[in-house]
Amino acid sequence: MADPLADAVRAGDPRAVARAISLVEDGGAAGATVLAALSGAVGRAHRIGITGPPGVGKSTLLAALGQRWRAAGRRVGIVAVDPTSPFTGGALLGDRVRMGALYGDPGVFIRSLASRGALGGVSAGTHDAADVLDAAGFDPVVVETVGVGQGEVAVAAVADTVVVVVAPGHGDGVQAMKGGLLETADLLVVNQADREGAEGLAAELRAAIELRERGRRPDVLLTTASEGRGVAELAAAIDAHRRDLAAAGGLGARRAERALARVRDEVDRRRARAFWTARAGDLARLVAEVVDGRMTVAAAADRLDDVRPPEPPRS
Amino acid sequence: MADPLADAVRAGDPRAVARAISLVEDGGAAGATVLAALSGAVGRAHRIGITGPPGVGKSTLLAALGQRWRAAGRRVGIVAVDPTSPFTGGALLGDRVRMGALYGDPGVFIRSLASRGALGGVSAGTHDAADVLDAAGFDPVVVETVGVGQGEVAVAAVADTVVVVVAPGHGDGVQAMKGGLLETADLLVVNQADREGAEGLAAELRAAIELRERGRRPDVLLTTASEGRGVAELAAAIDAHRRDLAAAGGLGARRAERALARVRDEVDRRRARAFWTARAGDLARLVAEVVDGRMTVAAAADRLDDVRPPEPPRS
């Protein structure tokens, strides 16, 4: 376990953290070595997921929360996989200026990751980067993703506490998203609460939550992140959620769920890679028959699946 | 091939179409039988994908296009997998009223599908439902999805022609989405063109397209779907795109790409199901070690992957 890079990460050296995240994002052997050396140090941070549709002010809210956490002496790690986030590369300069209080603060580490087509932007690299920040002593570690319905569910697998952010004036979306929102959110935030319709939206969400017979009943909070209003209450609610979860024994369950999804995804990816490398010729031939209408997709899948012997029992 | 349900679908019987889509969505043997019986009749329709962030007016635009297609005597099939779409179950009553001209028209078949967590909402059922509508003689067959970046890429696999819709006032999103948008779109539409910033957004997109050294260079069109403005031009551009694609031999390539992705996904899903059924015990044991910090995700994956013998060469 004598790994100089891992040692530097554990000591919180920002250049080592940046280097380790790059390695784990590459997905190669060097990244795996660092993660192995860090594994004993992972698991202390509060993992927070922030998600919601584009334009509701997730990043502004995160910046406001970040300032509170900093004021409390906490070191804040942020992984931004929301392609519309100002924390992520493509954003407007003006957004970066708004976020300026966090940029350049040595107690804040912000890393943007490409979503690589993964659902809700949460890929293996997202989890691994969060692990590095966790091992480096950042707490909380926040993952910011974009979500418009089912996408939110993916962030649940990254976080101990999932904060779903909505805003008035995104009515169509919120209405249709209600089901998925309620199932995923630990806390529901109506941001841009100074705009018309915010109270109505909050009431609508609370009513929908009341109707649920089972499952989580997330609190609904109102914030105006651009003016800092409601942020203290949100920060307190986030802390309280984790406390309650830990007291109820739910923290371990969340982490087991997270580990399970990560292991499954990793194995599925490796097996698919090996399989399709070996079967590229068969695939091309069968696809040609599907395109000609001589075979259905299911029949082609039968043929590819059939040449494989049954899975052996575990050895 | 004597399948009464498939015969009724080919004859365009709407109840048979609805029943067939339900069967293929279930993913069982009955659905596979119907798809097999229909496979020779699939491939005539123009498949159109409409995607973009929530709130840009995709559905209003689709409704306006639908009316034009109906006026031209075409039968229109719509598969809506956008959870924020008024075509999909959860929408506001007001949206359905706005779409009223299409609802109840026997020449229009609208089906909402759950996105089931698939990327961009495009699951196996989406493709299968589009196949049923195609075999039933609907042309075009439109798939409406929601996209906020990488998600758009998935819709490319469903469609001959991909229309990406944006709108002014969703600035952050559009800025960050540019890369993905340009790569996916066959046609870029700036909707809500009566709003401030529409011309600037179109100019910005055109400038970004000009800078590309290779790849598609999608046309940028302006529409105000709610007033029907620009819709005739868009309908013409959609037709022209398919004509150009067919003339350049690209239609077959798109369809092969689509078939390839579908076969791969189906096989991956089946193999994962079989694998994890057989390995549930191993998985649980290894996940416990990951949660305890005694093992990394990669090491757990190594152990699961190792008990499998190497893939045999093709038989």
Could B149 and A36 be called an inter-chain contact, meaning their C-beta atoms sit closer than 8 Å?
no
Least-confidence region, from A44-58, A217-231, B216-230: A44-58
Whether the per-residue pLDDT at B227 is higher than 90: the answer is yes
Interface A–B counts its CB contacts (< 8 A) at: 258
Cβ separation of A282 and B40 shorter than 8 Å?
A: no
pLDDT bucket at A191, cuts 50 / 70 / 90? very high
How many residues can be counted in chain A?
A: 315
Of B7, B10, B2, B6, which Cα lies nearest the Cα of B20? B6
- Which of A289, A297, A311 to mutate against chain B (most B CBs within 10 Å)? A297
Give me the DSSP letters along A195-224.
STTHHHHHHHHHHHHHT-SSS---EEEE-B
- Weakest mean pLDDT among B98-102, B165-169, B173-177: B173-177
Q: Per DSSP, what are the bridge partners of residue A164?
A: A51, A188
Give the one of A116, A170, A266 whose C-beta lies nearest to B297's C-beta. Answer: A266
Instruction: Answer whether residue A309 shows pLDDT above 60.
Output: no
Asked if the Cβ–Cβ distance from A281 to B90 is below 8 Å, we say: no
| Section A62-90 average pLDDT | 80
d(CA A146, nearest CA chain B) in Å: 8
pLDDT score of B306: 67
Quote the percentage of chain B above a pLDDT of 90: 48
Buried b (16+ CB within 10 A) or exposed e, A28-62: eeebbbbbbbbbebbeebbbbbbbbbbbbbbbbbb
The model's confidence at residue A167, banded by pLDDT at 50, 70 and 90, is confident
Question: Do B86 and A299 lie within an 8 Å CB cutoff?
Answer: no
Contacts with B70 (C-beta within 8 Å, 6 or more apart), sequence order: B76, B102, B105, B107, B108
- Token pair 């409390």 is found at A72
Q: What is the largest CA-CA distance in chain B?
A: 66
Residue type, B83: P
Is A32 in Cβ contact with B298 (below 8 Å)? yes
From the CA of B179, how many Å to the nearest CA of chain A? Answer: 9
pLDDT given at position B309: 45
Beta-carbon separation of A170 and B92 below 8 A: no
The whole-angstrom separation of Cα A272 and Cα B294 is 27
Residue B301 to residue A95, Cβ atoms within 8 A? no
pLDDT, one tens digit per residue, over B130-151 is: 999 999 999 999 998 876 555 4
Global confidence as pTM: 0.79
Shortest CB distance from A298 goes to which of B32, B312, B315? B32
**ipTM higher than the 0.90 cut:** no
Choice between A36 and A56, residue whose per-residue pLDDT is larger? A36
Residue-level pLDDT at A215 = 65
- Mean pLDDT value across residues A250-268: 89
Q: Tell me: the pLDDT tens digits for A103-123? A: 778 899 988 876 554 444 567
Region A129-138: mean pLDDT is 96
Mind telling me how many Å the CA of A65 is from chain B's nearest CA? 20
Q: What is the mean pLDDT of chain A?
A: 83
Whether the pLDDT of residue B284 is over 80: the answer is: yes
pLDDT band of residue B125 (cuts 50, 70, 90) is confident
* pLDDT higher than threshold 60 for residue B161: yes
Q: What is the least distance, in Å, from the CA of A200 to any CA of chain B?
A: 15
